[in-house]
Structure 1
Amino acid sequence: MKNNRFYGYLQNILHSINIKTAEIKQLDTLISFFRRIPKRYYKIAGIVAGSFIVLLTVISIIVINKRDPLLKSAILRAQEKANQEYQIDLSIGKAYFSGLSEVTLENVKVVPQKADQLASIQTLTVSIKILPLLFGNTKIADLGLENASITFVKKDSISNYDFIFRKKDSTETSTNKEPLNLANVADRMIHQVLFKIPDNMKLRNFVVSYQDDSLQQSLTVPAADIDDGELTSTILVNQNQATWYLNGDLKPNKNNLFFQLTAKEKKVEFPLLEKKYGLKLNFDTLEAHLKKVKWNNGKEDFQISASGRVVNLLVNHWRIASNNVIVPNGSIDAEVIIGKDYIELDKNSQATIAKVTAKPYARFSLSPNKTIALGLEVPETKAQDVFDSFPAGLFESLEGIKVSGTMKYSADFFLDTKNPDSVKLHSALQESGFKINAFGKTDFSKINSQFVYTPYEDGKPVRDIIVGPDNPNFTPLNQISPLLRNAVLTAEDPLFFSHEGFEERSIRASIATNFKEKAFKRGGSTISMQLVKNVFLDREKTIARKVEEMLIVWLIEHNKIVSKQRMLEVYLNVIEWGRNVYGISEASQNYFLKKPSELDLGESIFLASIVPSPKNGIYRFNEYGGLKPFLASYFRLIGSLMANDGIVTRDSTQTYGFYSVSLRNAVLPTHSVPDTISQDINKEDLEREIKEAEQLLQDLFGTKIN
């Protein structure tokens, strides 16, 4: 009865404060539900709630009374683990609870055994959130750090951080190990990072330094604070050499982190990278944003959504380019999907540089074999926007070029590491209405008329060579022996007259060989690519130069700036055939005292064999002027291919002029005169070089030549 009067009073109150009719109906329904619940259930609920509160109170009292021994026990376990697993002496001067869930450590030192001190902390205060702890998660609420330092030291080959890369000893058998699940690993790693980011932080005087036998670098953080997720910090590089600002908005509970790095009155620079690795790297602004992490497909795939942006990035490294490469503005939106046995950069990812947007793709799989898949798609874009978006300093010869029309590009690559010979590669650059209106720094049409070519050796010019009638050694294509022309084409670029500058089969074969050898053994260049490299580019082996080479080849071939016949003519007149021997006229005179038109089959095949390594050509002869026996199989291969094409008559002896080749006496190799080059060359090197060339041709033609 009392309950009914209570609920009646409640309804009258709701009506009196003008709650909407629909809301009153919902509340009436809820009140009616509670009316039907017997009183004894309320008593039971009250008893349970009271008991729970009493239990929590008892547990809290026990924990408070026992927490100091528990803290000491935890520290002892940490010290034992550090000593046993990493050979580290961890000492803590003082440890105590400074609050209900707050621990303070004083005078902490980390010293690897037989090495310099790695870290020291004067005062560290950490408080833990209680609620996540009840579910087994350690989430930092507040963090305080004063007068701390981390010092990485390397003397000779010994460092105080070797333990980081040291493998743990494990007595577990492979049958007891849980199979690796990359998605679970990623989830654990991400959330370990997120849980360790405090809601509030006060850091004062924190120093990170590196020193070895030749250099010393340091980063000093006089102050860094997180106030309810807002990060502000100041970083001094090498004392006061530069000042950085790292700011951000951190919401780890929402899986959302944003960081921004800038510098005071200058760029953010990394002197350690430049001094230690020769990498010059700087920028105005760098931003990184972790937007979201989540499980997909019933916890099968773990997805990470992130983005980044850089302003006025400058990169300089001898492997990348010979000049400073400058990217005014670049950004990426990445969708990374991690499965049980794979990591994938999803095709929905997007990268932008200036006016060009591309969709990159990458996937690395562990099962059933380790495989690598890469892809890139650039949608249809104004051609001028493409060339204007190339970073300054990357492709010097293309700077200032004016074009019209549109371009689009797609590429796909797949490699099974267990079967590298099955490598797949497809690259397609398509255009619509493309036209070169004006050349930039370099006029690619210059090779249609007489020009001066300057070969370089070790970065220094050798001599100027006139490519044209004013040079008595210049030989027009129709005055070069057809046998020589075809031997070189067969050996270097069998499909020269049918492709547009690239031969994917050759590139695939090169990738397979280089992967198997774990070294760069084969280039896969066509004659078009070799010509561009010799005439228009320096000889530096950088990534930028290789890409620039391919772009120029496409421009020349696709737009028919130069005919195939003229390309072959120039190629044979400028390439190196021996030490300070350039062009086919000098080559035929140097080795055989002949004109290019007089070369026979054996001499032509020999000259074709030395194109990849011309300085070694003379050492393929013995002291009597005859060819060394290991070259016989190469002659058989090239001769058979030429016979298959009807260029020469098939030789029943399979020698194709091998025994008729005779080097002129004046250049015979001797053992009495010391030669620094010959000392570096041995029979095995030369034989391996020829075998690699044979294998390439057999791969290209698909069958072994008899």
Structure 2
Amino acid sequence: MKKQCILRIATGLIGLLLLLTAGGYILRNVLLNHMVEQRLASVGKRHELDIRYRHLTLKSINTVLFEGLSIVPHERDTLLTLGSLQARLSLWELLQGNVQIRHLQLDSLAVRFVKHGSEANYDFLFRPTSEADASAPSTTPRSEEDYTLRINKLLDLVFGFLPGNGTLTHLNITEQKDNNYVNLHIPQFNIQDHRFRTDIVADEDHYVQRWQAEGEINPSDRRLSATLHAPHITLPYLKRRLGAEVSFDSLTCRFEQQCLGRELTRLIGQTEVNGLKVYHRRLSPELVNLDHGRLEFHLNIAPTSIELDSTSLVRFNRLDFHPYLKVEQKNGYWHLTSVTDKPWFPAEDLFTSLPRGLFDNLDDIRIKGQLAYHFLLDVDFAHLDSLKLESELKGKDVHIESYGHTNLSKMAEEFEYTAYEDDRPVRTFAVGPSWEHFTPLNQIPAILQMAVLQSEDGAFFYHQGFLPDALREALIQDLKVHRFARGGSTISMQLVKNVFLNRNKNIARKLEEALIVWLIEHQRLTSKERMYEVYLNIAEWGPLVYGIHEAADFYFAKRPSELTLEESIYLASIIPKPKHFKNSFTPDGRLKDSQKGYFRLIAQRLAAKGIINEAQAEGVDIANVVLRGPAKESFALSKPEPSSSESHRFTEPG
């Protein structure tokens, strides 16, 4: 009896389960539409969107058909329309709560990002989703992110919706701002056995390009690759939005994901570009050409850090190196570490690999010998004073066989110098005996020479162009105030900037400056004495006042050899801000008391160097600095400039 009872109950349960299953299957479309409508209504209400669709059906247990979708932000242009989408899902993945599309058929997808004036149909993407979000203070510390979890979720989404097989037809993506637009049109995108190939028509304000793309989509192996190529590809949108022009012949990107447990995900891949041309005024005033560039990366993503392993490779033209970079978040603060070590390699690999147009003075230069490079940057943003900065380029048997566009040894003899104001040339004169205002170094008082050194670069005659500690201190200060407040430049760097480089402030100029300084100092193309002589004869000492001869006359109606101790110290003080000299004086041409501390410090340094004695240092009196030249007359012609806090660069005596 018991067995029969159990059998009846089991049979009844099975029957009920089959009935429920059959009922659920019969009502599957009603249930599916109800759930989707609720979800879309919630999303639409939260983001102020009108989301509609014409038809949604579950054709089989794992195949969905979706037709006539439209998304329209309130009182904005239509954001998205979709003709039809049919997707066959992986039943096994679906039972585990994951979406994995096995086959996809999609037709007539159009996405339009439209902006008129300050209003855009994608504004909702950047709005807070609740009042709580809107009222949250911006200074609230952010909790540490779990980067492993975030990247895994993102890649799960990407690989889940990328099918191994399918056909996508009539895809359009449009960006429009007022009367300008960019449209990318894909007539047909075919995926077969994880491989794809397609044509892309790019139209930017009626300038039409035709590209080809091909690659692999392999969700099961967590692998993606794509190559974009054409005789000449110019990326749209960038010039209008960023003022940049970027073009290339081919671009390849590929990567694969390796999940190494809950705490670590690794991305391994490479990016390769051929025939790259870039223009942006912040980078260089000329078009930059890079024949071939390649990045092979091993990226380790942990819960609180992202690390570029040193097995990664960067190659441009003939030069390659292995960088290491780690960015880590601790207690709400970032910690960045970057290391690059390049052992001995042919010097010509560096100089022939420099992108043409980026370093104009070094184009076509021929250099033989061996180079090695070491770089370290360690920044803990919670303790900026602990910052470490090391940068050293070593040379072995290096010699210049021939110069390129510029004779880097021209400072060794008389040459023509052009001074600029606001990127415009204002004065041109010879730095040598043929210029009537030229003053040889041996005719410039030792007091003035040493005062300028102690103000600008105390170790000039001992370093080889760079002061790593000064650069480190400047970087710490810049990071603290969130702007470029200090430069850490040596006299060698200032000379190269003014004599060899254009006046366009950009990233490339600093790199070119460093290479030219290294060559001049390492190869002794110009002696230290001559470099300092040039510096004192071209330095700007006031409005359109260049060189020590004009400076002595402009301020004190004297020759350089007649300058007193106090007058020499003052001239050293004005070099950082020569156009603001009026801030240092009273209307009757006498030095303000605020200068006393600076004078006392420089006088003590001069005494330590043996240039003056202790009694002279103690007797320094700013009352002995009185304007007598044209500088005094300028007070009668205009009102003094508003007072501002002057900052002087001090370096330890060399």
TM-score of the aligned structures, taking structure 2 as reference length: 0.91
Q: Tell me which moved more, 162-171 or 105-114.
A: 162-171
Q: CA deviation at 1:432?
A: 1.9
Q: Among 496, 506, 509, which residue is 1:532 paired with?
A: 496
Q: CA deviation at 1:112?
A: 2.1
Contact 1:273/1:280, CA 8 A, preserved across alignment: yes
| One-letter amino acid of the counterpart of residue 119, structure 1 | L
Is the deviation greater in 163-172 or in 630-639? 163-172
Give the match's secondary structure for 2:570. helix
Q: CA RMSD of the aligned region, Å? A: 2.8
Contact (CA 8 Å) 1:636, 1:655: kept in 2 or not? no
Q: Which residue of 1 aligns with 2:171?
A: 206
Contact 1:133/1:139 (<8 A) preserved = yes
Of 303, 315, 319, which aligns to 2:266?
A: 303
2:27 alignment partner in structure 1: 66
AA paired with 2:81? S
Change (3 A) 1:432 1:245: same
Q: 3-state SS of the aligned residue for 1:322?
A: strand
The 3-state SS of whatever aligns with 1:261 is: strand
The answer as to 2:298 corresponding to 1:335 is: yes
Structure 1: 5+ residue stretches without partners:
1-49, 702-706
Match status 1:285 vs 2:250: yes
Would the alpha carbon gap of residues 111 and 420 (structure 1) be closer, same or farther in structure 2, given more than 3 Å must change?
same
1:388 correspondence with 2:352 = yes
- Which residue pairs with 2:313 in the alignment? 350
Decide whether aligned partners of structure 1 residues 625 and 324 sit closer, same or farther in structure 2, where only a CA change above 3 A counts. same
Q: Identify the residue that residue 289 of structure 2 maps to in structure 1.
A: 326
**Within 5 Å, which residues of 2 pair with 1:556-595?**
556-595=520-559
Shift in Å, 1:179: 5.9
* Corresponding residue number in structure 2 for 1:38: none
Residue among 233, 258, 265 paired with 2:225: 258
1:617 aligns with 2:581: yes
Q: Are 1:248 and 2:211 matched, yes or no?
A: no
Partner of 2:54 in structure 1?
93
1:605 counterpart letter in structure 2: I
**Partner deviation per Cα, 1:324-364 (whole Å, 9 max, x = no partner):** 11110110110111112111111111111111111112111
Letter in 2 for 1:697: F
8 A Cα contact 1:632 1:655, kept in partner: no
1:214 to partner: Cα distance? 5.5
Measured in 1, the distance between the counterparts of 2:395 and 2:15 equals 78
The counterpart of 2:63, out of the listed 102, 125, 145, is 102
Post-superposition Cα deviations, 1:557-582, rounded to whole Å, max 9, x if no partner, equal 11111111111000111121122111
Hey, what does 2:409 align to over in structure 1? 445
Contact 1:356-1:381 within 8 A present in 2 as well: no
Aligned mate of 1:315, from 278, 284, 300: 278
The amino acid across from 1:196 in the alignment is F
Q: How does 1:623-702 map to 2 (within 5 A)?
A: 623-650=587-614, 656-664=620-628, 666-668=630-632, 673=637, 682-683=642-643, 686-687=644-645, 689-690=646-647, 693=648, 697=650
Q: SS of the counterpart of 1:697?
A: coil
Equivalent residue, structure 2, for 1:230: 195
Distance 1:359 1:656, change over 3 A: farther
Instruction: Give, as a single letter, the amino acid of the residue that structure 1 aligns with 2:276.
Output: L
Cα separation, 1, equivalents of 2:592 and 2:23: 91
Change (3 A) 1:61 1:607: farther
SS across alignment from 2:284: coil
SS in 2 for 1:390: coil
Distance in 1 between the 2:236 and 2:610 partners? 62
* Paired residue type of 1:149: A
Q: Give the match's secondary structure for 1:73.
A: helix
Bigger relative contact order, structure 1 or 2 (CA pairs below 8 A, ≥6 apart): 2
> 2 CA distance for matches of 1:52 and 1:503?
84
User: Which structure 2 segments of 5+ residues have no match?
Assistant: 1-10
Residue 362 of structure 1: SS of its match in structure 2?
Answer: strand
Q: Which has the higher helix share?
A: 1
- CA, structure 1 residues 179+392, in 2 after alignment: closer, same or farther (shift >3 Å)? closer
Output the CA distance in 2 between the equivalents of 1:190 and 1:656.
70
Letter in 2 for 1:69: V
* Contact kept in structure 2, 1:623 and 1:670, CA below 8 Å: no
SS where residue 322 of structure 2 aligns?
A: strand
Q: Quote the residue 2:87 is aligned against.
A: 126
Counterpart residue number, 2:122: 161
Is the contact made by 2:144 and 2:330 (CA closer than 8 Å) also made in structure 1? Answer: no
Q: TM-score, normalised by structure 1?
A: 0.85
What is the aligned length? 636
Query: Contact (CA 8 Å) 1:591, 1:663: kept in 2 or not?
Result: yes
What is the alpha-carbon distance in structure 1 between the residues aligned to residue 606 and residue 152 of structure 2? 60
* Counterpart-to-counterpart distance in 2, 1:478 and 1:271: 59
TM-fit CA distance, 1:122: 2.1
Moved more, 661-670 or 556-565: 661-670
Sequence identity (%): 34
Tell me whether 613-622 or 587-596 shows the greater mean CA deviation. Answer: 613-622
CA apart distance, 1:541: 0.8
- Provide the C-alpha distance between the structure 2 equivalents of 1:450 and 1:665, rounded to a whole number of angstroms: 29
**Among 506, 511, 518, the residue aligned to 2:482:** 518
Amino acid in structure 1 at the alignment position of 2:520: I
Deviation string, structure 1 residues 59-80 (Cα, Å, up to 9, x no partner) = 7634422321232123223323
Question: Contact conserved, 1:483 with 1:599, CA < 8 A, in 2?
Answer: no
Q: In the superposition, relative to structure 1, how do residues 379 and 66 fare at CA in structure 2: closer, same or farther (>3 Å)? A: farther
Instruction: Write the deviation string for residues 459-513 of structure 1: whole angstroms up to 9, x where unpaired.
Output: 3221211010011100011111212211111111111111110001110111111
Distance in 2 between residues matched to 1:657 and 1:213, nearest whole Å: 65
Task: Give the aligned partner of residue 501 of structure 1.
Answer: 465
**1:643/1:205 CA distance change after superposition, 3 Å:** same
Structure 1 residues 569-619: Cα deviation after superposition (integer angstroms, max 9, x where no partner)? 001111211221111111111111111122222222222222222222234
* 1:248 Cα deviation after fit: 0.7
Secondary structure class of the residue paired with 2:170: strand
CA distance, structure 2, for counterparts of residue 138 and residue 178 of structure 1: 30
If each structure's strand is expressed as a fraction of its own residues, which one has the higher value?
2
2: distance between equivalents of 1:78 and 1:336? Answer: 36
Query: Which amino acid in 2 is paired with 1:325?
Result: V
1:65-99 Cα distance to aligned partner (Å, 9 max, x none): 23212321232233233234323222222222344
Larger displacement relative to structure 2 (104-113 or 463-472): 104-113
Q: 1:479 to 1:109 in 2, by over 3 A?
A: same
Do the aligned partners of residues 75 and 481 (structure 1) sit closer, same or farther apart at CA in structure 2, a change above 3 Å counting?
same
Q: Which protein shows a greater Rg?
A: 1
Contact map agreement 1:358 1:379 (CA 8 A) in 2 = no
| Residues 293-351 of structure 1: per-residue CA shift (max 9 Å, x gap) | 221xx532221111110001111111111111111011011011111211111111111
Structure 2 CA distance for aligned equivalents of residues 583 and 481 of structure 1: 14
- Which residue identity does 1:452 align to in structure 2? E
Aligned equivalent of 2:156? 191
Does 2:328 align with 1:365? Answer: yes
Determine the structure 1 residue equivalent to 2:238.
273
8 Å contact kept, 1:578–1:618: no
* Structure 1 position 140 matched with structure 2 position 101: yes
Aligned to 2:434: 470
